[in-house]
């Protein structure tokens, strides 16, 4: 039994035939034996091929009737396959995005559960205990979310399977973790630690209003594809991030511990006097802020790590990072303007190297800082 609420706040108890079937499947030894081949990515890929075929369109109308989907909310078009229907787009104006910057909005249609993350980065989902480190495959990253919250947005098969960014900000490069594809129904979580076994993909976002957010998409049974749009320099609240192919699936967010504030207003003027006397000039503060902005782009950080090892030309950098020479040149220009790299010409090639050892020191201290307990 679970509780569901609509967009108007109406709540009701919900227990579906799918829930009961999965409870029996995951709750018995025989059922779990049947599951072993079903949760493999290869089976999901085979299912995906059928759902991409023209014959799969025969399942669309029965599904619409059974799920009670209002097709007036979606762009009118003819679907080439079931998956084409499954990833359908909403009609413009069918949904409005809450643009109040103080509201943390949902990235998708879902059933939402929120769990506290302990100071030891542990989180218990129903009866299963996870560590954030096992979920992310990174203990250093997990420590950044100690004392925060883990948000589980679970989509069922009849939900809209496109999802958005919950705030404006800058997104990091994404990391994909391969795995199996259990259903994300709570019945499975009672038996398997699905969120650390399933295929998943995550990235960080420096959001404008909620600090650093971790965004993770988790594949599920019959969901062989997590289809995200390419990473942009800047994203906007409500902008589409991507979609899942057929099946139920899950989005996980992790938010950091809230900053504690004073319970009463009391200004310590003696301390402020010392601070003001030591504070650098506005020009110096501005120049320092501009310098640290350069380190806010992961591509530029990757370039610097390559230059730690050797002096290389633009062609070498493009090959090493899997980028075009023009994209590399753009980042090198910014690094050179901020006196972090230097270059020299040798024939038709331009070689780049670190400007001085300060660069290595800044990066080394940054790495040491993020790895601290």
19, 109, 158, 316: the catalytic one is 109
Structure token digits, residue 321: 């990072």
56, 81, 156, 249: the catalytic one is 249
Is residue 142 a contact partner of residue 131, using CB atoms and an 8 Å limit?
yes
List Cβ neighbours of 373 (8 Å cut-off, separation of 6 or more). Answer: 143
Structure token digits, residue 359: 């660069």
Is residue 235 a contact partner of residue 171, using CB atoms and an 8 Å limit?
yes
Measured at the alpha carbon of residue 240, what is the angle toward residues 237 and 242, in degrees to the nearest 5?
A: 135
Hey, which bits of the chain come out as E strands? Answer: 2-5, 11-14, 111-116, 122-125, 128-131, 149-155, 162-164, 169-171, 175-177, 200-207, 212-218, 226-228, 240-244, 249-255, 312-313, 341-346, 349-354
d(CA 130, CA 150): 11
Is residue 199 a contact partner of residue 45, using CB atoms and an 8 Å limit?
no
Q: Is 109 assigned a catalytic role?
A: yes
| 54 DSSP 8-state letter | G
* For helices 314-321 and 325-337, angle between their N-to-C axes, nearest 10 degrees: 110
- Torsion angle (degrees, nearest 10) of CA 183, 184, 186, 190: 70
Q: Is 61 assigned a catalytic role?
A: no
Catalytic residues: 109, 249
């Amino acid at each position: 039994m679970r509780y569901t609420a609509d967009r108007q706040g109406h709540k009701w108890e919900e227990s579906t035939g799918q829930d009961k079937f999965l409870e029996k499947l995951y709750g018995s030894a025989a059922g779990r034996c049947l599951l072993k081949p079903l949760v493999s990515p290869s089976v999901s890929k085979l299912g995906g091929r059928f759902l991409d075929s023209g014959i799969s369109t025969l399942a669309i109308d029965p599904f619409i009737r059974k799920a009670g989907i209002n097709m007036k909310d979606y762009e009118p078009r003819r679907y080439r396959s079931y998956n084409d229907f499954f990833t359908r787009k909403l009609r413009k104006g069918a949904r409005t995005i809450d643009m109040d910057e103080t509201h943390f909005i949902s990235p998708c249609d879902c059933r939402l559960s929120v769990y506290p993350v302990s100071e030891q980065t542990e989180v218990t989902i129903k009866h299963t205990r996870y560590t954030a480190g096992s979920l992310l495959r990174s203990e250093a990253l997990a420590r950044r979310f100690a004392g925060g919250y883990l948000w589980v947005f679970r989509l069922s098969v009849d939900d809209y399977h496109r999802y958005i960014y919950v705030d404006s900000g800058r997104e990091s490069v994404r990391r994909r973790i391969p795995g199996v594809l259990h259903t994300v129904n709570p019945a499975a979580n009672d038996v398997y630690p699905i969120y650390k076994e399933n295929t998943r993909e995550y990235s960080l976002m420096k959001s404008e209003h909620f600090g650093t957010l971790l965004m993770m998409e988790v594949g599920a049974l019959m969901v062989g594809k997590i289809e995200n749009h390419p990473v942009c320099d800047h994203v906007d609240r409500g902008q589409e991030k991507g979609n899942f192919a057929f099946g139920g699936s899950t989005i996980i967010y992790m938010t950091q511990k809230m900053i504690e504030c004073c319970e009463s207003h009391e200004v310590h003027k003696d301390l402020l006097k010392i601070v003001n006397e030591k504070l650098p000039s506005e020009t110096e503060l501005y120049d320092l802020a501009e310098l640290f902005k350069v380190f806010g782009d992961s591509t530029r950080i990757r370039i610097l790590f390559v230059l730690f090892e050797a002096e290389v030309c633009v062609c070498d950098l493009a090959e090493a990072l899997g980028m075009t020479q023009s994209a590399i040149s753009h980042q090198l220009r910014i690094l050179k303007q901020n006196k972090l790299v230097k270059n020299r010409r040798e024939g038709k090639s331009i070689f780049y190297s670190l400007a001085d050892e300060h660069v290595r020191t800044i990066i080394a201290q940054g790495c040491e800082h993020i790895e601290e307990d």
